Amino acid sequence: MKLSLIGRGVRPWEHLTLAGLRALKDADVVLGIEPDQGAWQALSKEFSLPAIKPIDFLYRDGASDEANYKAFLHFISDVCEQFEHVALVVAGHPRLGVSVARWLSEKTFPTPVEFEVIEGISSFDTLMNDLATDPLEKGTAVLDANRLILFRYALEPTLDTYIYQVSSVGNTFTDYIDSAARNNLQLLVEHLLRYFPSNKKMILCKAANFTGGASEYIAVTLATLVDHALLIDPGTTLFIPGEKPKSINAQFFSHLRLSHVASQIHSF
């Protein structure tokens, strides 16, 4: 038996990879949570893919993340016993902020299962493009909001910083209908204030995942972040632009300059 975990990208009609398409065409059954059923039906018709069987009914709003994942794992395990090749489609990239990849890789199935993970275009990729940023130009930190606070990670203000899961700060429950109800954004603000001034400009990024939908980029400051809690949903990422460095390694700069001069001499 084989289980393919496939990243469908943020917008599957644009982002599904060739490897993903091949795995889907080979699968006996395709499971997934797909909010844009119309787009998936068109995609299935164009590439002769099996119809996707939604499993979002297993999600219980307000239940713990762990309880929801266990429900998914139990269901997927049962399906794997019935079919030779099962495909599970997830949004974005299967290893970016999606615990199901780790859970599935660690699970012991009743019958041995060949497990593969197929990459997809992640929200991080689309953010880089929409924000016109190069993650290597200033350097980049990509962090989970709860881990950031829990482990007291120190932030470097000169780096571009992307903070995921800002819809569930201090909250281990799956609140999809009303993310603001138990979102303790103030805890994130308190941590960020250690490294940034209250007037630091930031962007709440909400990527489009419906046909015809438009991504939203909402300018905020650290002081006004909590005021925008109602606009934050599970797909929202907080982008903090890096500041210009205040100093450089002068000794290393001299080394680079000498290296540049040497290369010019050798070019003659």
Binning pLDDT at 50, 70 and 90, where does residue 111 land? confident
Binning pLDDT at 50, 70 and 90, where does residue 106 land? confident
pLDDT of residue 68: 85
Burial class from Cβ neighbours inside 10 Å (0-12, 13-18, 19+) for residue 165 reads buried
Boundaries of CATH 3.40.1010.10 in the chain?
Answer: 2-121
CA 81 to chain centre: 30
pLDDT of residue 124: 94
Rounded Cα gap, residues 220 and 194, in angstroms: 18
Boundaries of CATH 3.30.950.10 in the chain?
Answer: 124-240
pTM > 0.85: yes or no = yes
Please determine, for residue 265, whether its predicted confidence score (pLDDT) is greater than 80: no
Strand order in the sheet with 216-221: 140-144, 160-164, 236-240, 201-206, 216-221
Rounded Cα gap, residues 203 and 104, in angstroms: 33
Mean pLDDT: which of 29-43, 210-224, 241-255 is highest? 241-255
Alpha-carbon dihedral sign for residues 45, 51, 55, 57: positive
User: What average pLDDT does the segment 33-44 reach?
Assistant: 84
**Is residue 239 within 8 Å of 161, Cβ to Cβ?**
yes
Architecture of domain 124-240: 2-Layer Sandwich (3.30)
Reading the block at residue 184, the tokens are 């303790």
pLDDT of residue 268: 44
Residue-wise pLDDT for 172-217, tens only, equals: 887 777 888 899 999 999 999 999 999 999 999 997 766 667 789 9
Rounded Cα gap, residues 248 and 209, in angstroms: 41
Residue-wise pLDDT for 71-89, tens only, equals: 889 999 999 999 999 999 9
Reading the block at residue 257, the tokens are 């300059």
Rounded Cα gap, residues 158 and 161, in angstroms: 9
Contacts (Cβ under 8 Å, ≥6 apart) of 64: 172, 173, 174
Rounded Cα gap, residues 8 and 99, in angstroms: 16
Residue-wise pLDDT for 242-255, tens only, equals: 999 999 999 999 99
Please determine, for residue 63, whether its predicted confidence score (pLDDT) is greater than 60: yes
pLDDT of residue 263: 63
Per the listing, tokens 């003659």 go with 268
Contacts (Cβ under 8 Å, ≥6 apart) of 172: 64, 65, 66
Work out the percent of the chain whose per-residue pLDDT is above 90.
63
Provide the CATH number for the domain formed by 2-121 in this structure.
3.40.1010.10
